[in-house]
A and B are shown apart, each in its own frame.
Chain A
Amino acid sequence: EDQVTQSPEALRLQEGESSSLNCSYTVSGLRGLFWYRQDPGKGPEFLFTLYSAGEEKEKERLKATLTKKESFLHITAPKPEDSATYLCAVQFQGAQKLVFGQGTRLTINP
């Protein structure tokens, strides 16, 4: 069965302390991997799409990378406003739906 697993479940950092979130997947054929940010009481907000191994995307303090079996979301010198749940989702070949991981709850302390 196709699965998406995110780790860690929760991460607490000090402001300015860089780290990475992991998303691993088992899939028969990957079409695309998506990262979303979700704030409490809101819907997921689109961040990045990655399509092939070796691809990287950047936006402000965030950089997403993709290998054949996992993706990393690197956060550099985070600020308190980066606190949120980060969701990884995979779209498989021949399917339109997204399969989500359970998310990583990130807290940045000032």
Chain B
Amino acid sequence: GAGVSQSPRYKVAKRGQDVALRCDPISGHVSLFWYQQALGQGPEFLTYFQNEAQLDKSGLPSDRFFAERPEGSVSTLKIQRTQQEDSAVYLCASSLALLDTQYFGPGTRLTVL
């Protein structure tokens, strides 16, 4: 079946621009996670949702980062006033329920110039 999909796959932004990254989880998956992966490093947790409720946003690096999942399915990660240090791959993962295996999408590579 279809896995987790993310769009766009690549995004180039000028410093100061706002960006929106989309995640379509596996159908029926209740939990959705966002991670940030710097070059050559392992992914780092940003935030997660159970259905439409955002239960943990402790990993969001600043108040410029905002995530939503209004109908408990598709999620959007928004970054306002992008900075060069925001350049990374943003990974989305979903799981059937909390504590189940997380399955990852291909990621969105964000480059801020």
Q: Name A's B-contacting residues (CB within 8 A).
A: 4, 6, 31-32, 34, 36, 41-46, 49, 87, 89, 91, 96-103
Contacts and interface: CB of A to CB of B under 8 A. Distances in A.
14 contacts: A31-B99, A32-B99, A36-B104, A43-B106, A45-B104, A46-B102, A49-B101, A87-B43, A97-B33, A97-B59, A98-B33, A98-B45, A100-B43, A103-B40
B48 A96 contact: yes
A98 B44 CA distance: 8
B41 A97 contact: no
A99 B105 CA distance: 17
DSSP class of A's interface residues: helix, strand, loop or mixed? Answer: strand
Given A49-B101, A87-B42, A89-B42, A43 B91 contact: yes
Interface of B: 4, 31, 33, 35, 40-45, 48, 55-56, 59, 91, 93, 98-99, 101-107
B101 A34 contact: yes
Given A43-B91, A46-B103, A96-B33, 18 more contacts: A42-B107, A45-B104, A46-B101, A46-B102, A49-B101, A87-B42, A96-B31, A96-B55, A96-B99, A97-B33, A97-B48, A98-B35, A98-B102, A100-B43, A102-B41, A102-B42, A103-B40, A103-B41
Given A96-B48, A96-B55, A103 B42 contact: yes
B35 to A, nearest CB: 8
Contacts, number: 60
A3 to B, nearest CB: 11
B64 to A, nearest CB: 21
A55 B93 CA distance: 25
A99 to B, nearest CB: 7
Contact of A44 (B44, B98, B104): B104
Question: Which of A98, A102, A103 counts the most B-chain CB atoms under 10 A from its CB?
Answer: A98
